């Protein structure tokens, strides 16, 4: 078992690792960081959740020249959510490295705002291929000083049709640059990208550890018209504190979330038509316990990981059995128990043999629990407050926590997750104290200033 202390990293990064509580390196970190630090291209096969973001983040930050005010690192991700997640982790690792500017540049945000943020060149950019290509064409993102390009979840980017933008971006980068490619699978397209744009890469395949998850799976027969009552019965019977519900289309995602709301459930929809702020606020509320049910498409939820998720429900069966396996794998992580329920209509029955083959075991069919009319829907314990200030105002989670336990009069148990974005911060507080806390904070000062506070 490798320790971060044994990896030759700058003192500032070791300090960040210590503060984050990272002592033992995961296999992907132990095997990839040394060759990346030595300047090699790498071709890495590693699953989502293996610790790859910290791996390439540490290597990139260790080789960065902070006094060189040029773009040096470019990270391409398949979705906005993953890009935001990567940016957040990089900022946490770079907290003790002075004067590092990291930008997230994705679609769904005004190009005008992003052009303004690029008036001072960042050291690192994390973004989606389409928006990065657009900014390069506009002349807003010069690549002259670029030393490292990272393709994160490369197979997913190719699946989403980004192969031409990726090729265009890589062809415009300096020939001396390093290319680090991370993918869950080694497809022919991945090999072709590696062959065209990498120089004798170090090939690393991370073996998956034996599964320690305990996921109980149940399949239920339910025709389309009966699925909403079936979904409601499952939620009311099992009473999960949070549940991720998968639909195949954006329209169904919106409809199911709206109908759950009408039935009294705390439910939100996550799909590709939301703008960036709405997506952020939806994910924040579900992750911090302010929303019980998140209804999502597979594409919208790609790259998102929710800790301690007790239950997932497939409202519709996907056409690809591998997608079904990915869905149920969102629960029962890190040795925790999880429940995965799937509603199957008569039209979907033809897909079941492929699902059974992908799972590698017989399917467990069960009877739906009886509906419980009149029984109130379970409600979340937390409520989200919005503070109209963020990283650009030098606001940190510790500043917010101090205000909540001071002027807000909260105990630590009444405070949940705190998320700080560029211009806004979100904090989860107990439902019973939310209104009084918001009122108290409006009269108080955070870091010597008053900010607008409201309930989400």
The reported pLDDT for the residue numbered 354 is: 92
The reported pLDDT for the residue numbered 66 is: 86
Domains of the chain: 4-205 (3.40.50.300), 214-359 (3.40.50.300), 382-455 (3.30.70.330)
Average of per-residue pLDDT across 256-270: 94
The reported pLDDT for the residue numbered 300 is: 63
The reported pLDDT for the residue numbered 209 is: 55
Determine the 3-state secondary structure of 334 from DSSP. Answer: coil
Q: Which two tokens stand for residue 44?
A: 């890495």
Write down the pTM of the prediction.
0.68
Backbone angles phi and psi of 102, in degrees to 5: -120, 125
Which range scores top for mean pLDDT: 14-23, 292-301, 304-313?
14-23
Tokens 């869950």 locate to 184
Closest of 305, 336, 410 to residue 53, by C-alpha? 305
| Confidence at 197, pLDDT banded by 50, 70, 90 | very high
Tokens 């002592």 locate to 23
Specify the pairing of strand 425-430 against strand 382-387: antiparallel
Strand partners, 221: 344
Tens digits of per-residue pLDDT, 203-240? 999 876 544 458 899 999 999 999 999 999 999 999 99
DSSP 321-379: HHHHHHHHTTSS-TT-EEEEEEEE-GGGGGGHHHHHHHHTS---B-PPPPP-TTPPPP-
| Helix runs in 64-205, H state only | 80-93, 111-117, 129-137, 154-159, 163-171, 188-197
The reported pLDDT for the residue numbered 212 is: 47
Tens digits of per-residue pLDDT, 171-192? 999 999 999 999 988 888 899 9
């Amino acid at each position: 078992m490798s320790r971060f202390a044994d990896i030759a990293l700058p003192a500032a990064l070791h300090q960040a690792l210590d503060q984050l509580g990272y002592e033992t390196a995961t296999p992907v970190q132990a095997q990839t960081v040394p060759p990346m630090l030595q300047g090699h291209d790498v071709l890495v096969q590693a699953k989502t959740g293996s610790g790859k973001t910290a791996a390439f983040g540490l290597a990139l930050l260790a080789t960065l020249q902070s006094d060189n005010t040029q773009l040096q690192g470019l990270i391409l991700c398949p979705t906005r959510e993953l890009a935001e997640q990567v940016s957040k982790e990089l900022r946490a690792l770079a907290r003790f490295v002075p004067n590092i500017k990291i930008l997230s540049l994705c679609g769904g945000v005004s190009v005008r705002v992003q052009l303004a943020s690029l008036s001072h060149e960042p050291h690192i950019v994390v973004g989606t291929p389409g928006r990065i290509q657009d900014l390069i064409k506009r002349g807003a993102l010069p690549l002259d000083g670029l030393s490292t390009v990272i393709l994160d979840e490369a197979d997913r980017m190719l699946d989403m049709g980004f192969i031409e933008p990726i090729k265009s971006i890589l062809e415009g980068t300096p020939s001396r640059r390093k290319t680090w490619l991370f993918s869950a699978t080694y497809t022919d397209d991945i090999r072709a990208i590696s062959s065209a744009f990498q120089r004798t890469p170090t090939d690393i395949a991370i073996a998956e550890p034996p599964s320690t998850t305990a996921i109980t799976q149940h399949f239920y027969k339910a025709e389309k018209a009966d699925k909403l009552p079936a979904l409601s019965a499952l939620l009311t019977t099992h009473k999960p504190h949070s549940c991720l519900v998968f639909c195949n289309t954006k329209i169904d995602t919106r409809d199911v979330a709206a109908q759950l709301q009408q039935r009294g459930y705390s439910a939100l929809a996550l799909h590709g038509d939301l703008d960036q702020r709405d997506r952020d606020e939806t994910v924040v509320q579900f992750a911090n316990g302010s929303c019980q049910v998140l209804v999502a498409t597979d594409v919208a939820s790609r790259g998102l990981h929710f800790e301690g998720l007790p239950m997932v429900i497939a409202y519709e069966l996907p056409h690809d059995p591998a997608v079904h396996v990915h869905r149920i794998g969102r629960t029962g992580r890190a040795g925790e128990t999880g429940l995965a329920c799937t509603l199957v209509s008569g039209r979907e029955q033809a897909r079941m043999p492929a699902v059974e083959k992908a799972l590698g075991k017989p399917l467990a069919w069960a009877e739906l629990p009886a509906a419980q009319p009149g029984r109130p829907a379970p409600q979340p314990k937390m409520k989200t407050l919005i503070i109209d200030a963020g990283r650009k105002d030098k606001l940190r989670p510790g500043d917010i926590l101090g205000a909540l336990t001071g002027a807000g009069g909260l105990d630590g148990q009444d405070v949940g997750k705190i998320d700080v974005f560029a211009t806004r911060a979100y904090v989860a507080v107990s439902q019973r104290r939310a209104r009084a806390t918001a009122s108290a904070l409006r009269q108080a000062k955070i870091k010597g200033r008053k900010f607008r506070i409201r309930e989400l």
